[in-house]
Structure 1
Amino acid sequence: MKQDDPHRRGYASPPCFAHEVDPIPFDCFAVDPQQEQDVARWRKAERARLLNERAALPVSVRQAAAEAVSERLDALLAARYQSVKGLTISAWWPIKAELNLRHWLESLLHRGALVALPVVVTRAEPLSFRPWTVDCRMVQGMWKIPIPADGPEVLPDVLLAPTVGWDRGGFRLGYGGGYFDRTLASLARRTLTVGVGLRSAQLLTIFPQEHDIAMDVIVTEAHTFVSDEQT
């Protein structure tokens, strides 16, 4: 995060989860309206291109990528924490050819972590997070994405976000609804944020604006990027 205070969160750009697409306009606080329009048009075109490319990949390729990402996520968590036991880790329910990490999430449960999924409680407000298990009751949330039917609201220690595109500065391109950005800006405590996507979705830049918030780490099937460092 390129801000004076590394623990300070502010509103970010429209990148977000698949279920964040929303007809309500997202206020980007842009200084230059023309620049805002140009960046928005470019992001829309890149988003469409990357989604089409991802959807065209064979299922076997996406499955192999998910397995490789799972191994890299385990390595990342092992390097950051003594154990995943007791950690609250938020991920996503895969749609639109997103990487399916549910087997990995199940393994986290067996290792003592609490797994959570994001929930839209109020339109155009930050996401909430509810615990998920393999046998919990699921219902259709907004945009018909399955969510835990009930359960207490929890705060993630580690927040994973799927990316449509990403750059080496840690900035991510998502679906454009702004829910993820509002969530980052509203978190009451420091959370490790991890963007997860395909190596082929790397962009030279997403043209980050003043309001954009970089992820702490970007993980793909081939690399782990911490800011501009590759591991």
Structure 2
Amino acid sequence: MTDAAKPDRSTLRRSLLAQRQAFAITPAFQAAEHAVRQALPALLAQLEPELLGVYWPLGGEFDPGALAYPRALPFARREPAAMQYRRWDGAAPAARDECGISSSTGAVAVPDVVLVPCVGFTREGFRLGYGGGFFDRWLADHPGVTTVGLAWSGAETQFPVEAHDRALTLILTERELIAPD
């Protein structure tokens, strides 16, 4: 497919989100969640995070909250657009960030391993998120952090990579671990 025939990123994002919502109400979703829940601890044991950056799951995303590591949740600000991580004790989040997503009131911290939700992804390690650029900006400011995209295999796609996009270190789906070159 030529670039001219590919949908723009916002159209692709809407399509992938609709597909994810439909997938989330199927029995296959439960099986996919179980598969990621089984594979992720072994991967994290190899990565040995001192502080694990997780995320508060939105509709149809894998829920990484119950992992047994010191954790931090992102907190996004709209103006100026920025994101930071705050230590999280695992209790019900006491705050919402400026995007309305549950977050923590803990101390600002920089995780060494970050789990990143993916609306879509490519084999080359690029992720399509929600369009705010928060993760990409944070990753650009923290280039030494190991990033693990969490995605459903059905979200694999192609899209034009833009200058601000940052490739992830690894992508874990219910079917495989992808280690881009």
What TM-score does the superposition give when structure 2 sets the normalisation length? 0.86
Quote the residue 1:73 is aligned against. Answer: 40
Q: Which runs of 5+ in 2 are unaligned?
A: none
Quote the residue 1:90 is aligned against. Answer: 53
Instruction: Give the count of matched residue pairs.
Output: 178
Residue 127 of structure 1 pairs with residue 83 of structure 2: yes
What is the CA RMSD across the aligned residues, in angstroms? 2.3
Q: Quick one: distance in 1 between partners of 2:98 and 2:84?
A: 13
Q: CA deviation at 1:40?
A: 9.9
Quote the residue 2:19 is aligned against. Answer: 53
Quote the residue 2:161 is aligned against. Answer: 208
Q: CA deviation at 1:132?
A: 1.4
Where is the strand percentage greater, Structure 1 or Structure 2?
2
**Is the 1:126–1:186 contact (alpha carbons within 8 Å) kept by the matching residues of 2?**
no
Q: Quick one: distance in 1 between partners of 2:163 and 2:78?
A: 26
CA 1:161–1:118 in 2, change beyond 3 Å: closer, same or farther? same
Quote the residue 1:168 is aligned against. Answer: 123
Higher RCO, 1 vs 2 (CA within 8 Å, ≥6 residues apart): 1
CA 1:156–1:50 in 2, change beyond 3 Å: closer, same or farther? same
Q: Quick one: distance in 1 between partners of 2:109 and 2:5?
A: 34
Quote the residue 1:151 is aligned against. Answer: 106
Select the residue among 220, 223, 227 that pairs with 2:173: 220
Name the amino acid aligned to 2:76. V
Q: CA deviation at 1:123?
A: 2.6
Q: Quick one: distance in 2 between partners of 1:128 and 1:163?
A: 18
Quote the residue 1:115 is aligned against. Answer: 71
Q: Quick one: distance in 1 between partners of 2:86 and 2:8?
A: 34
Secondary structure at the residue paired with 1:92?
Answer: coil
CA 1:227–1:129 in 2, change beyond 3 Å: closer, same or farther? same
> Percentage identity across aligned positions?
34
Quote the residue 2:141 is aligned against. Answer: 186
**Is the 1:163–1:196 contact (alpha carbons within 8 Å) kept by the matching residues of 2?**
yes
Aligned counterparts, 1:25-36, within 5 A: none
Q: Which runs of 5+ in 1 are unaligned?
A: 1-34
Quote the residue 1:43 is aligned against. Answer: 9
What do residues 114-157 of structure 1 show as CA deviations (whole Å, max 9, x unaligned)? 11100024534331111112336512322322111x22111011
**Is the 2:78–2:99 contact (alpha carbons within 8 Å) kept by the matching residues of 1?**
no
Structure 1 outlier segments of 4+, above 6 Å: none
Q: Quick one: distance in 2 between partners of 1:126 and 1:65?
A: 32
Q: Quick one: distance in 2 between partners of 1:39 and 1:93?
A: 34
